[in-house]
Structures are given as C-alpha cells and as structure tokens.
Structure 1
Amino acid sequence: MLTLKTILGEMESVLNSVNKEHYTNLVEKFKEDRRFFFVGEGRSGLIAKTIAMRLMHSGKTVFVVGETTTPAIQEGDLLIIVSGSAATGNIVNLLKTTNEIGAEAFLVTTNPAKLESENGLLIKAATKSRKEGEPSTIQPLGNQFDQSVHLILDAAIIDSQLETDTNTTFKRLHSNLE
C-alpha cells in the first residue's frame, strides 16, 4: 500500500502543476465541431487511443493515426500528439505534415522547448529519460507521464461535456458489439 500512496502523491503533484489556461484551451477544443486525430508511440500511443475512444463516446468524429480506416488529415482538423519528448522522428514529421496541410496540432508533452513553437499542454512529469528538472518518481520509465496524460485528458473531455449527462451520452455510443 505504501507504493500506491507514493504514486498517488506523485500524481497529485503533477496534476496540480498543469497550466490552467492551457488546460482550458484543450477543454474548448474538445467542444469544437471538427475531426480529431490522435497519435503517440509506445505506451503514450496506448493512452492516445484510450483518450480517442473516450472522445468518440462524447459524439465527436475521432481517428487514430496508423489505423487502416483513418482518412487523410485536412485543413481544420486537430491532431493531438501524446509524446513525452516530442522529439522522435515520427512526431517531428507528423507536426510538419500537419502544419503544411493547414490542420492544427496540439502537443501533450513534457518538453517545454517544443511548446514554444507548438500549441499544447505541458505535463511536468518524469519520462524514461529522467532529464534534469523532471520530478522524481518511484515508477519506471514513462509511467508518471502516461498516467498523468490519461487523467488530465479524460478530465478535459468530461469538462467539455458538463452541460450533458455524460454517462448517458457516453453509454449510448459505447460499443454494443461485445
């Protein structure tokens, strides 16, 4: 139980460090009537898929980059990138393509330097790199980042739906082919 208490304390610290203005910006984006694309690599990619599914439950048109049924991104669409470093070759290329097409990118990352040129949300969490300035954690690799992203983006979706009965709305769009 001590491990759980420690992790909860770490998470509280990370969540409390989120910039309220950037968070509100994301909530407003989730309210918009547009197509949403999600991408991430590794565990961050799994979190991106989780959030994509939840946003779809809210009634939005949502795609996951790399899936066979994902269409081309277009002007006016929003690509949400979940990446601790935001520096891998694939992520850099996706940002470039998105900007060239005229779509919007929203970067969820621990890398403040990347947010100087991109729209997004800084998550002050530890990554597998354990760079100077990252918080300490008992958790391995990028667990702290991935867990934080899951909680923050899930909360942003809920906040974007406060005018509705979210459980009823989400349940209506939940898979019925189980």
Structure 2
Amino acid sequence: MLYKEYANKVLDELRHTLTAVDQESAKTFVNLVEEADEVFCAGAGRSGFQVKGFAMRLMHMGISSYVVGETCTPNIKEGGLLVICSGSGETKSLVNHAKKAKEMNAKVAIITINPKSTIASLADVVVEISAPSPKSEKQGDVVSIQPMGSLFEQSEGIFMDIAIMMLMERKNMTSDTMFGRHANME
C-alpha cells in the first residue's frame, strides 16, 4: 500500500473507535475530572505515554494533575480522581493503584478495551474503546491493520484530547489562555 492508503485506513479505524465511545461515559468522565480536587494519571507502556499527555493538558488548564510513580506525586485522598489507561484492565500495578484509590475513597476512571476487567469493576466510570489488543481477551469490534495495540493507544489519546476540549468549553478557556502555563524552561 502507498502512504495515503495507509493513512486513510488508519483514519477510518480511528473514526470507528472514537465515534463508538458511549456519550454518557464520556460525559461522566469529563464530570469526574471537573469535580476532582486532584487528578492522578496512570498507565503502562504506550498507554502510559498517552495518559502523561493528558496530565500535561490538565496542568495547562490549571487543574492539579500528577503522574503516578513520579517522585513529586503526592498521595491520593478523598476528592481525588485516578485516571487509568489500560487496554486489558488487568495490569497488576494498575489494579493495585485502583484498589488503593478506592481504599482512600477517591474516584477511579478507566479507559479500556475490556469493560469487564478487574479495574473496570472498581471504576466509577468505564470508557470503552472498541479496538483490538494482544493483551486483552476482548478484541473490540474492528480489525486493525496496525500493529499490536496501536489503534487503542491512539484512540485513548484522542479521546482524552476531546475530553480536554469539552473541559475547555465548560471553563470558557482557549489555547491562548492555556498557553500561559506552558513550560518556559525548555
């Protein structure tokens, strides 16, 4: 295939997964982020990279956000929200994070392929991304030409960017107002 053929196929896959996300789950996810005192973000591998980008955008909005596992991340407590990105919903370290969050009376949100996973059973909201992954028994309802879990990882990142856009609208923010918090020690 030529580059443009690959590009069009990938865009079709993304259109399918992103438009299949349940509207109420997306709304609940955004509500939980907006209501949280602090947002803690966790994921492993490429999902971890995606959720770090979400934490950064929350910071740009002036929302207290942290990446679980970083040395400057405080403890989670009641009023906090843990956002987990996990295709399988079974990654042991992330299951432990979810259990700790619930133990502290914090909320948990998961973006996953598997709405019947251990983490999903602990979550206050489950955002299901219907994409295949070699780590999940549930494979979504689209066959991807992309390797491994790429479609899920791309979709979760774009979903979180859309959630940021929804928050920006609610808070009457623009890219210009957010840019004031952009790093200046680069």
Interval containing the TM-score (normalised by the shorter chain): over 0.9
**How do residues 96-107 of structure 1 correspond to structure 2 at under 5 angstroms?**
96-107=99-110
Helix, strand or coil: the match of 2:97? helix
Aligned mate of 1:118, from 120, 123, 127: 123
Moved more, 123-132 or 30-39: 123-132
Unaligned runs of 5+ in 1: none
- State the shift of 1:129 in Å: 3.5
- State the shift of 1:160 in Å: 1.1
C-alpha contact (below 8 Å) 1:75/1:103 kept by paired residues:
yes
Q: Percent identity?
A: 35
Output one character per residue of 1:95-143: Cα deviation in whole Å (capped at 9) or x when no partner: 1111111111111111120335522211111113474542200101111
C-alpha contact (below 8 Å) 1:31/1:161 kept by paired residues:
no
**How do residues 68-83 of structure 1 correspond to structure 2 at under 5 angstroms?**
68-83=71-86
Helix, strand or coil: the match of 2:6? helix
Aligned residues: 178
Name the counterpart of 1:171: 179
- State the shift of 1:33 in Å: 5.0
Q: Distance in 2 between matches of 1:132 and 1:139?
A: 17
What is the identity, as a one-letter code, of the residue corresponding to 1:139? Q
What is the identity, as a one-letter code, of the residue corresponding to 2:156? V
Q: Distance in 2 between matches of 1:130 and 1:137?
A: 14
Q: Distance in 1 between matches of 2:7 and 2:116?
A: 32
Q: Distance in 2 between matches of 1:160 and 1:52?
A: 13
**CA distance 1:80–1:33, shift in 2 (3 Å):** closer
Moved more, 132-141 or 112-121: 112-121
- 1:149 lines up with 2:156 in the alignment: yes
- 1:160 lines up with 2:167 in the alignment: yes
**CA distance 1:22–1:130, shift in 2 (3 Å):** closer
Name the counterpart of 1:15: 18
Moved more, 117-126 or 93-102: 117-126
- State the shift of 1:31 in Å: 2.2
TM-score between both structures, scaled by the size of structure 2: 0.90
What is the identity, as a one-letter code, of the residue corresponding to 2:131? A
C-alpha contact (below 8 Å) 2:89/2:95 kept by paired residues:
yes
C-alpha contact (below 8 Å) 2:41/2:67 kept by paired residues:
yes
- State the shift of 1:30 in Å: 2.8
**CA distance 1:130–1:117, shift in 2 (3 Å):** closer
TM-score between both structures, scaled by the size of structure 1: 0.94
Name the counterpart of 2:133: 127
